[in-house]
Amino acid sequence: MKTSSDIYVRRRIEAITGLMALGFALLAIRAVDLQWLQADKLQQLAENQRQREFSISAPRGPILDTQGRVLAESIQVPSISAIANEVPPGRIVDLAKALGMQKSQLTQRLRGRHGFIWLARQISPDTAKTVMALNISGVRQEMEWRRYNPLGPATGHLLGFVGVDGRGLEGLEYSMDAQLAGLPGRMQVRRDARGISLPGGAWLTQPKMGRRVSLYLDATIQSLVYAALADGVRIQSAKGGSVVVMRPGDGAVLAMASWPGFNPNDFHRYRPSQWRNRAVTDVFEPGSVLKPFAVAAALETGRWRKESRIFCENGHFRVADYVIHDDHSEGWLDMTGVLARSSNICAAKLALDVGPERLHHLLEKVGLGSRTGIGLSGESPGILPPAERWGPVETATIAFGQGVAITPLQLATAFSVLVNDGMYVSPKIIRGRTHGEPYRAIPKKIARVVMRMLVHAASPEGTGALAVPAGYRVAGKTGTAQKPDGHGSYAKEKFTAVFVGAVPADAPQLIIAVMVDEPQRSIYGGKVAAPIFRHIAAAALPYLGVSPHRANHDWRSMSVASQDLSRPETGDALPSLYRRSLREVRKLASASGYQLHVHGSGWVMRQKPVALSHMEPGDVLEVWLDD
């Protein structure tokens, strides 16, 4: 007979056996689940632990000048990253010191973070070497692409810059981002049990460099333009200025510079307001440089001829309730004299005779009031009020450049119409870009007559005499305009000084438009902007192979002369020393007999005089250098 204790033991054994059987059954089910049902998923998880895929950025395409010289390129630089939760707290002080950061700043960046984090991006190789020598757990070096502009501030406004993420943010880098940006690649690397990457790896997709962008810009002319503009602005204690240099005929922009500049290699040190390309974004009232177009409109009516004479009212002329003044009291002037003496009153009389519709139509045809389509971001269309809003006062004042606003690029483009026998040619700076077809804006005969008048305007009898470099003739026009005060009137002490011209006048090779904003020592375009024009022309023309007193060839047949500053030559062949080494400058000065005055070290950023074409042995050559 079984006792109660035997029954209890047997039931315990049965219960344990049942539990064991259930456990084995669950293990079997789990084994089936792991081995068959979840096999692919678990294998993928294991692979993810053993290997990792990385996105590898691609270099942007280079930007080249007209001779294939690099204006912007991507170079590899080190960056420092970390796995935030793996950085030992005790090493933060050493790490912060090596990175040039405050301990509190680095602590705040790491606090509460897990996984990958950037500590310092695109730093110097020396800094990266110092950091990696500390051998801190979780800290590693990555290689990234950084944009570098060899000419620095000289091309800052035009080319713009690229952010740390490799995207263009300003200038051509922004407007051409889709073409310049490369395609990132992906790489797979294997890791050990501790998660440390093993040597080697396999490319899943190779990174692809962006496409190159070639410009019509000439690096040498750009450099000397930037230096001449900087000197001119400083001499006049002006607020700033812009210059556009264009080749007539095809509209190629060889240089475009603004001052003050900024260095795109270190753009974060500047305010956003300093980044914009003011040669295409900022507008100004052009003043008397519009008078040639008022004369052209008058000649086009057939009622006026080159020999026609106009009474200039001895310096005072009333239109409605507005009195127009001339700086110099004049009596009777012919049409050439109107431009040479820059009479506001005569220009106003011509415009009133022509009428608002006809003058507006001509200004519109030469490109005022619309974007040129050059392909630069932020381009302004300027301001050209519709003709129906022109009363007698507006018609009169627009004839001498008040009441309209243009960009320096629009000014150069409009002037090119006169140079090109009346044909409008769209300006261009990006090679391979489609532009509008040329069209006739002014009759050929009238454009040629006005050009001959403009030679007198830049003669000793005209207001542009200081624009003429020795050995050349210039066809050009000065402009001086009061700046609007923002309250419907004009500021009494704020002016823009302008000069635009073509050189050599007989067969123009260059159109140069110069605008100086708020000069202080003088306000007149003939004294402020014209000398800048002269310095640029005197340096650029010999570089382009156009010697003094040789102005009778067609500009299209001229070849660009190569220039080698590494060998001693006379100053005639050396328009600019910009970005040259001190060694090269000393060699030149020694060979030419110049007295050399040096400021700073590194590479030439500025020189005086701007043009070396008329220096003699014993003259002083002064250069400013900057690393």
The pair of structure tokens assigned to 294 is: 């008022």
Q: Are 546 and 575 in contact (CB under 8 A)?
A: no
User: How sure is the predictor about 376, in pLDDT bands with cuts at 50, 70 and 90?
Assistant: very high
Q: Report the distance separating Cα 607 and Cα 571, nearest Å.
A: 13
pLDDT tens per residue across span 485-539: 877 788 888 999 999 999 999 899 999 999 999 999 999 999 999 999 999 999 9
Q: Which CATH class is domain 571-626?
A: alpha beta
Q: Name the pTM for this structure.
A: 0.77
Catalytic residue positions? 288
| Identity of the residue numbered 502 | A
Q: Is the pLDDT of residue 49 over 60?
A: no
DSSP designation for 237: T
Q: Is the pLDDT of residue 188 over 70?
A: no
Q: Which segment of 46-50, 149-153, 185-189, 489-493 scores lowest on mean pLDDT?
A: 46-50
Q: Which residue has the tokens 């002006």?
A: 238
Classify domain 54-214 at the CATH topology level: Penicillin-binding protein 2a (Domain 2) (3.90.1310)
- Residue-level pLDDT at 46: 59
For 190-199, what is the mean pLDDT?
A: 51
Average pLDDT, the chain: 85
Architecture of the domain spanning 219-263+277-550: 3-Layer(aba) Sandwich (3.40)
For 294-321, what is the mean pLDDT?
A: 93
pLDDT tens per residue across span 223-269: 999 999 999 999 999 999 999 999 998 999 999 999 999 999 888 88
Q: What angle do CA 104, 110, 116 make, to 5 degrees?
A: 150
Q: What is the 3-state secondary structure (H, E, C) of 159-204?
A: HCCECCCCCECCHHHHHCHHHHCCECEEEEEEECCCCCECCCCEEE
